[in-house]
Amino acid sequence: MKLIVVRHGLTVGNEKELFIGQYDDVLSAAGKKSLPKLVETLHDADFSAAYSSPLQRTLHTALPLAEDHGLKLQVDPRIIEVNVGEFTMKPRNATLPVLRKSSTDLLDSYQYDFTRYGGESAEQVKRRVREFLTDLRKSNSSSVLIVTHGGIIRWFYLLLNGSKVSRFPNTSQHFFEL
């Protein structure tokens, strides 16, 4: 099974360099403007199913892609962004004085734990992404579109390729074999 995993479009919080987490942020004007190019880029891809995180930024990115391919968009909460608790919508470096790493460095480490701050741990995120992939394997899909978040795409790389990656741009596309 082929997976094409897309990071959502640019959001208002992304532009302000905030650690967005599970806040239901909206696409910025630039994020909305990037969608027609993304649809054009993936127009010839052969998707048999489409999935999205339940947050607005992913839904608004995924819907035009699903519509372009005549697919019903399936929403799955297991691919929602990492819950960063009290650090939600704070500057990216707000974690530095408390956790000794920036938000990007924490996600890049794959060893974060936001449970003391009302969020979730890396192990909890890994478990839900792994469960999503296990269920996806049981489907009859040959090629799947998944629109999700940077923190979740990192786990796709580790679980499917065994590699750790860092940040990547909004609307970036990532290709995997499952």
> What is the pLDDT at residue 164?
95
One-letter identity of residue 175: F
Residue 168 lies in a domain: no
Residue 94 lies in a domain: yes
Over residues 59-115, the pLDDT tens digits come to 999 999 999 999 999 999 999 999 999 999 999 999 999 999 999 999 999 999 999
pTM of the predicted protein model: 0.97
Q: What does the block give as tokens for 158?
A: 């580790």
Q: What is the CATH number of the domain that holds 27?
A: 3.40.50.1240
Q: Which residues form the domain of 93?
A: 6-139
